[in-house]
Amino acid sequence: MAKDKKVKAPKAKPKKLWLTILFSAVSLFYVMPIVMVVINSFKKNTFVKTDTFALPNAESFVGFDNFTKGMTFGGYAFWKSVLYSLVITLLSTFLIIFFTSMAAWFISRVNSVFCKTVYYACVFSMVIPFQMVMFTLSKTADTLKLNNPWTIPIIYLGFGAGLAVFMFTGFVKSIPLEIEEAAAIDGCGPFRTYFKVVLPMLKPTIISVSILEIMWVWNDYLLPYLVLDRTKYMTIPIHIQYLKGSYGTVDLGATMALILLSIIPVIVFYLTCQKHIIKGVAAGAVKG
């Protein structure tokens, strides 16, 4: 009997090898800011300014003092900022997912001028810069009492609806209409059809939209700064911005420490769910 021949693994092509090296080098430039935040969060404030790129040593290392200082600075507890950011992020994401998915289903199934107008209005809203409406929005939010963590998600719903409707509409159009017709024959009304049939099939896009919205709302600084009453409510980005001493001096060590604490949840969440982003975006672009 002939001996089994060993199958040699295919060699990497030179072009692909160089591309791998190139993109690996480029990725280092994206990782460097995070590395610098980690390094400087454990250094004294003076060394952060003078030896920004140096590793902590016996003279500059302060342990977790920067974290303690940042979380208690100005008498405003950091845990309150974490709580407000968490409430705003979760409520905003829930409202965006719940209402835009239903709107996208209605737009996809009802062929009317009104639905087309609403759809293109949502798409057009994605290209409007926030700076064009921020002053009017701030005044309107104060008038309607939307200036607290429990009502600001309504504003986020308006700004996040464009992308969410676009993605959900593209995915719903790829769902065969026969499935919903079969549900109607079995006696399902519009609400049961949506919640029992359509919504479970929207899971890939729901995950993708949730990831994008959570990362946006959690890190957003400008909208809460303009709308919220900063004497009562501070989100994490606003809390970090207020780490100032007398004459406008900034404690960079404490700032880096709080920045590190704020980005850890987002990085962990993104790394856990990143595989769903491309899947959901690709699914939502089938017939978008």
Report domain extents, the chain.
Answer: 80-242+275-284
Rounded mean pLDDT of 182-194?
86
Is the alpha carbon torsion for 157, 160, 166, 171 positive or negative? negative
The pLDDT score that the predictor gives to residue 53 is 84
pLDDT in tens, 5-28: 555 555 556 767 888 888 888 888
Q: Which CATH class is domain 80-242+275-284?
A: mainly alpha
Q: What share of the chain is helix, strand, coil (3-state, %, to 5)?
A: 75, 0, 25
pLDDT band at 113 (very low <50, low <70, confident <90, very high): very high
DSSP string, 213-253: HHHHHHH--HHHHHHS-TTT---HHHHHHT-B-GGG-B-HH
The pLDDT score that the predictor gives to residue 71 is 84
Angle 41-78-256 from CA coordinates, rounded to 5°: 15
What phi and psi values does residue 151 have, to the nearest 5 degrees? -115, -20
Q: Which residue has the tokens 């087309």?
A: 116
* Ramachandran assignment for 253, one of left (phi > 0), alpha (psi -120 to 50 degrees), beta (any other): alpha
**Crossing angle, helix 78-109 and helix 152-173, to 10 degrees?**
40
Would the pLDDT of 286 be above 60?
no
Residues 153, 269: contact at Cβ < 8 Å? no
Rounded mean pLDDT of 139-162?
90
For 155, the token pair is 């504003």
The larger pLDDT score, comparing residue 193 to residue 250, is at: 193
Confidence (pTM) = 0.82
When computed from its CA atoms, the radius of gyration of the chain, rounded to whole angstroms, is 25
Would the pLDDT of 129 be above 80?
yes
252: exposed, middle or buried (C-beta count within 10 Å: 0-12, 13-18, 19+)? buried
For 64, the token pair is 């977790």
